[in-house]
Structure 1
């Protein structure tokens, strides 16, 4: 823990367990310190000592760190937002020869602009950073810099250099554990981070220069304007001056002024690319979705209404207001907004899908079917559109069409939980009780309700003969659940 913190600490409050009772906090800290003092932590990770890591050791560490980190972060699950970041990340990583790791990108909810990498190519980006970017090149510039850190194995390097744990720093960081929030906790957290940065937790200047050098090459090879990386650093600098706070990103990525200067010189030697202003509209749509997903609905509505006063024809603002009204349950206003958005962009599958969902929510199944059929015709991989088209068919009593739509969803995403419940209902309506119970079983298993899942799987077995493939599948599910319950 002491080593992988180096240069990769997202926000102090993530690690403050303010919801836990005091005695559990004390046990946690004492156990952690004992483990660290005795080297047990590294053996737990499968690493004999805190020395330079092999690729396989870094992969093992990355998986464990990710599992722990994800418990403390509120990850964004919106498939459209995630898809956008994944595409930008893939654009960059596709330029890398001999990739050391499979890169994975995650978005977490935080208004602070931040991005960080943990071992083995897991890269996290905050919603605050996404909304601060002005174009895709700026966003890609941040991703490429973090990818540079991973490819240069700076995390492993810090671990090698920090072979002796700084217990004073650890104690300062963990002091925040004992305060359950409020001003005192914030003060301790701020002190802990400041102390950590001063002592050992930030990237070195050489690390930053190497990550910038690698990153800007990846960025420009991917077709982005390298000035996007510089432009975003300037934004962070302004953000620091305007808010009188240091963004978390700058705590672990120091000397921003020097970075801007040498990146300017570096960029002069690279071929000019032209995507800095491209995809601005796409990014704005993503930013609108982030606002709807992460702000209070009232604040989102007020923001879009205010912005539309000076920009009445901007698609992202019209669409964002419609999404916010939909979330608010004001389907009439949402429908008006989506219709207006379609006058600007008539072949947009997502807008058609959202319009169809609003019609369905108002019981207008004929209008819903029309919009959703157009949506899946434009994008046949949109699982949400197929799911809601299935709901329309189910509502109208067209059970076979509903099953076909739901099966499309399953093929696109086997972990789409609600589709199994709906399939159970529809199969039940058709009198196919074996299929109904089997799908209910999968639904409850994915929900973690294992007793209910077992009940339905056992009921499903009553409808299948001994030598059928379905029976073998169900028995395998039952066996797996029984193992997990032990």
Structure 2
């Protein structure tokens, strides 16, 4: 029995208890405010962290959030601060929480062929948030509470929209029926926004057609068990016709779109896949691309994938060989120097790693992947002060990166600052979704007079916030 199956059963039990409790209380009828949507999104994020692994290494997180930022730049002022996440799961799924939290599952990313396809789906999900489709649909249904909204969204995260429908069937008498599936009008509006934003970014909207073809194919061949995404985003055939009509109109007069460099996308895709699907399956996939020899970029990046796999299996000589071949094709890609340095770091060749990482970070001090790896290398060399400084720089940019707090906790333990170490471990557990341990360590930190007052205050503030979220959602 898999851990994910067990955790899903546990969550289902909790959701049933939540509904039972809801039915015993009077439920006010109101539309959802921006503040309520933010609160639901915040609680949902903790739920997802408890159920799934988020792939939030700095390079993965910065890439997808930078792409999302490009869309937001052309979308105009927003109600929310958006954050984009990659969820480790083979589900063909993506969804947008009302508060600007947008989740992409690795099973969906696996089907994508280009950066423009990724941007097209990102933009579509942003379109749902901008239009506040979920909040509006729920508000129209009457007496729906924030807790009910959280329940429905949690079922989407589990990849089973039918869960919320089934659990809430018994709640209809209390006027709590809820539907999270988007209407045809919602989908058309989100597609239109996605199309317009892609044009504004000088990206070819044809990529939307490619992704919708993939969705149509899945709909045709998996009719007995459609993925969650296609249950909440219905009508791929109708959507495809609509987007095709937009593309046809766009061709008169012809619009020149810039060619997209897919190096960064392919690197992102293989970094994600190397952490989410069986290594042998991915190895065969990459070997087939290399043997075909059809596309130079695809072949080169398949070698990159093999380098990652060899590194995971501690075959560092072969891993370095493959990575050097990729660097030879892309000599000016600074991020590949960080990738090579990571292999050296894992192989215990700290001096070689430091040489590459110092150069990489000097070239781009905004690259938190380089900063984090450099901090790790400095820590291994015993340069604790320099390592801590870099870890804190990463914290400023990525304050919810769990592995950062694990590293800081480890570093502080080496320095004998046990109280501060436990404070950082509390934040590690918090952002890993392990709330029981997070609360234990936060309570201890809040009472520990050996740690700085600011840390004690932060620990108590986090505990207070968690209590508020639990009461109000």
TM range (shorter): 0.7 to 0.9
- Asked if 1 retains the 8 angstrom alpha-carbon contact of 2:344 and 2:353, the reply is yes
CA separation of 1:16 and 1:278: change in aligned 2, threshold 3 A = same
Relative to structure 1, the CA distance from residue 39 to residue 425 in structure 2 (aligned partners, 3 Å threshold; closer, same or farther) is: closer
Give the structure 2 partner of residue 29 of structure 1.
16
Secondary structure of residue in 2 paired with 1:99: coil
Equivalent pair of 1:387/1:419 in contact (CA under 8 Å): no
TM-score of the two chains, using structure 2 as the length reference = 0.75
CA contact (8 A) 2:59 2:369 kept: no
* Structure 2 residue 339 is the aligned partner of structure 1 residue 357: no
Please name the residue that 2:198 is paired with: 219
Find the aligned partners of 2:68 and 2:89 in 1 and give their Cα distance: 20
Query: Which of 398, 408, 415 lines up with 1:420 in the alignment?
Result: 408
Shift of 1:439: 5.5
Contact 1:347 1:378 in 2 (8 A): no
The answer on whether the counterparts of 2:202 and 2:258 sit within 8 Å (CA) in structure 1 is: no
Alignment match, 2:455: 477
Q: In the superposition, relative to structure 1, how do residues 386 and 137 fare at CA in structure 2: closer, same or farther (>3 Å)?
A: closer
Structure 1: 4+ residue segments shifted above 6 A = 13-16, 188-191
TM-score, structure 1 as length reference: 0.73
Measured against aligned partners, the alpha-carbon deviations of 1:357-413 in whole angstroms (never above 9, x if no partner) come to: 32233343332232222322333234443444455455556x3xx532441231222
Which has the higher Rg, Structure 1 or Structure 2?
Answer: 1
Of 325-334 and 59-68, the range deviating more from structure 2: 59-68
- Taking CA–CA contacts closer than 8 Å with sequence separation of 6 or more, which of the two structures ends up with the larger relative contact order? 2
Work out which of the residue numbers 76, 81, 85 in structure 1 matches 2:55: 76
Once the two structures are TM-superposed, the CA of residue 323 in structure 1 deviates from its matched residue by: 0.9
Q: Counterparts of 1:16 and 1:277 in 2: how far apart (Å)?
A: 46
Partner of 2:434: none
- Cα offset for 1:344? 0.9
Tell me the SS of whatever aligns to 2:84. Answer: strand
Q: RMSD across aligned C-alpha pairs, in angstroms?
A: 4.1
Unaligned runs of 5+ in 1: 1-12, 41-47, 177-185, 462-472
1:136 aligned onto 2:115? yes
Q: Structure 1 residues 66 and 355 mapped into 2: Cα distance closer, same or farther (>3 Å)?
A: closer
Q: CA separation of 1:441/1:316 partners in 2, compared to 1, >3 Å: closer, same or farther?
A: same
Whether contact under 8 Å (1:115, 1:124) holds in the other structure is yes
The DSSP-based 3-state class of the residue aligned with 2:274 is helix
- 2-structure distance, mates of 1:387, 1:86: 18
1:352 CA displacement: 1.5
Relative to structure 1, is the Cα distance of residues 298 and 260 closer, same or farther in structure 2, using a 3 angstrom cutoff? closer
Whether the 8 Å CA contact 1:440–1:453 is kept in 2: the answer is: no
Partner of 2:99: 120
Match among 10, 25, 28 for residue 20 of structure 1: 10
Q: Distance in 1 between matches of 2:107 and 2:256?
A: 25
Instruction: Give yes or no for contact 1:134–1:280 (8 Å, CA) kept in 2.
Output: no
Q: Is the 8 A contact 2:300 2:329 kept in 1?
A: yes
Of residues 318, 325, 340 in structure 1, which corresponds to 2:303?
318
Q: How many residues align?
A: 422
Is the Cα contact below 8 Å between 1:233 and 1:260 reproduced in 2? yes
- Could you report, residue by residue, the CA deviation over 1:267-322 in whole angstroms, capped at 9, with x for unpaired residues? 33447655575032321111111110101233333332333222395221111111
Query: Which of 227, 234, 247 in structure 2 is aligned with 1:247?
Result: 227
Contact 1:121 1:150 in 2 (8 A): yes
SS of the counterpart of 1:260? Answer: helix
